Amino acid sequence: MNTPIRAFVFDAYGTLFDPYSVRMLAETLFPSHGAALSQLWRAKQLEYSWLRALMHRYEDFWSITRNALTFSCRSLELPCTEKQLHSLLDAYLRLDTFPEVKAALQRLADRRLAILSNGSPNMLHSVVDSNNLRDIFEHVLSVDVLKLYKPHPAVYQHAADQLKVPKESVGFVSANFWDIAGAASFGFQTFWLNRAQVPPDELGVRPTITLQSLADLIP
């Protein structure tokens, strides 16, 4: 039997907040290219964080997000002005939550809840506040204090340290399987939010539980 969970820790982007909710603005700015731009932007954002971690050349997630957007516009041959760039970046600070997120978090309001994200502090505080979720979370934790990125084990240790609970007592929730793999390898109980019902990556680990919606996370 698993150890009782004393705190739930959530990934932010792709789990609580929809990184593709910028596509409507992207489509307005660049007709017929909104979906492609939002998808490439997100892919490069993740790729750049992993590459910088491997090269030991840390930059915060805000810089990475800007650089990923600049590359994506250039790659898609979109003439993105500085004004358009700022508009898209500003939208990233106000991403929408996925439809079921707010109600699901309210159902967990009596639990200890935290966010653990690669996002920089200003990004996380902005997106949490814009969705009126400030009072829900005991901690909003950024990797920036460590100058590392998930899935480095030290990032997950940081969450356990801040919550002051053993790692076995943490339930970690993410829609990103690479993040689930990192958390499971570290020793968290893991809840993979598999909204798209895709097969798990072959990384030698499996989540404790697989969910189709955050609404399925019932204490």
Residues designated catalytic: 11
Q: Strand ranges (DSSP E) for the chain? A: 7-10, 113-117, 139-142, 170-174, 189-193, 209-211
Token pair 């969970």 is found at 5
42 phi and psi, to 5 degrees? -65, -45
- Which amino acid is present at 92? Y
Structure tokens that stand for 125 in this block? 């505080």
**Roughly what angle, to the nearest 10 degrees, separates helices 121-130 and 61-75?**
80
